[in-house]
Amino acid sequence: MAKLILLGILVLFAIGYLSLFVADFWKHRHTLSRQSWWKFILIGLVTDFFDTLGIGNFAPTASAFRLGKLVDDQLIPGTMNAAHCLPVIAEALIFMTVIEVDSLTLILMVAAAIAGAVWGAGIVARMNLRAIRIGMGIALLGVAFVLLAGLLKWMPSGGTATGLYGLKLAFAVVVNFVLGGLMTIGVGQYAPCMALVYSLGMSPTSAFPIMMSSCAFLMPAGSARFIKEQAIDRKAAMGIAIGGIPGVLVAAYIITSLPLTMLKWIVCAVLVYTAVNMLLAGLKNAIEANPEPAVD
């Protein structure tokens, strides 16, 4: 019963966010960037396809934006949240109905993620370009490390539990609050959330509804804040959303298995490259903002 209520609330979130997203896009339709629609649609199709399989979509999207010079750095966090919101909601609706997980664990971790996102979005939307570049560079390196840890078997492989209780549950709720806040700066929640539930003894499959539902519930709240602050690239966000939903459906209902190890190594390498590039750009901004005093 609790899960049905959660599903109903998520559908209402989706409807509310869709209304806001489309209305904002239509209002600003004459001020869109000149980038090709197909670039963004393809990014959405590919990143949300692999997101459904557990790769995550924020890090690859940020890399695509940076490598293709498609979106202004300052708009990347808000654009990624707004763009992937609807595809991730689709993922959550699918996985919440097919994978068993304790309702209390799911509800408390989702609530914590929402609170973290609302708190974080207001801060990120007002950050300057230098801070965003440095913050995202550090965040991407962190995601690359978690991905590398999984590939090298440094992370626990999980247990058999479908829920958490007592101190473990309290700890998971606190950490998910922090992850919700970090997601607004571009730290995808899948890898760290998966590492969290694995380390606490939950089964690997139970990680999927938790991490996807956490993202699905927090993203409308955080994305709405970014839209209000006009901190998104509307064309990029709409294009990715259009391509992302078919990508989710194909991955969830057509592709049942895929060798992902090589892809994870490639993603890890791209993340490190993008993170270093972002950090160098941020440090350059810092040096330009505080030049060395002239020597007489």
**16 has pLDDT over 60:** yes
Give the pLDDT score at 40: 97
Strand partners, 208: none
CB 223 within 8 A of CB 81: yes
Question: Region 160-181: what's the mean pLDDT?
Answer: 86
Give the pLDDT score at 14: 93
Ranges 7-11, 125-129, 159-163, 245-249: which has the least confidence:
125-129
**155 has pLDDT over 80:** no
Give the pLDDT score at 216: 86
Band of pLDDT at residue 130, cut at 50, 70 and 90: confident
Length of the chain: 296
Give the pLDDT score at 246: 95
pTM of the model: 0.73
**290 has pLDDT over 90:** no
**11 has pLDDT over 60:** yes
Band of pLDDT at residue 41, cut at 50, 70 and 90: very high
Tell which wins on pLDDT, 249 or 207.
Answer: 249
CB 152 within 8 A of CB 92: no
Band of pLDDT at residue 97, cut at 50, 70 and 90: confident
Give the pLDDT score at 135: 72
% of the chain at pLDDT higher than 70: 80
Half-sphere exposure of 109 (CA within 13 A, CB side): 32
Count CB atoms within 10 A of the CB of residue 203: 18
CB 201 within 8 A of CB 171: no
Give the pLDDT score at 19: 96
| Cα(61)–Cα(50) distance, integer angstroms | 11
Largest CA distance in the chain: 76
- Residue 12 contacts by C-beta under 8 Å, 6 or more apart in sequence? none
Give the pLDDT score at 240: 97
Tell which wins on pLDDT, 35 or 58.
Answer: 35
% of the chain at pLDDT higher than 90: 29
Tokens of 127: 């950050």
Give the pLDDT score at 271: 65
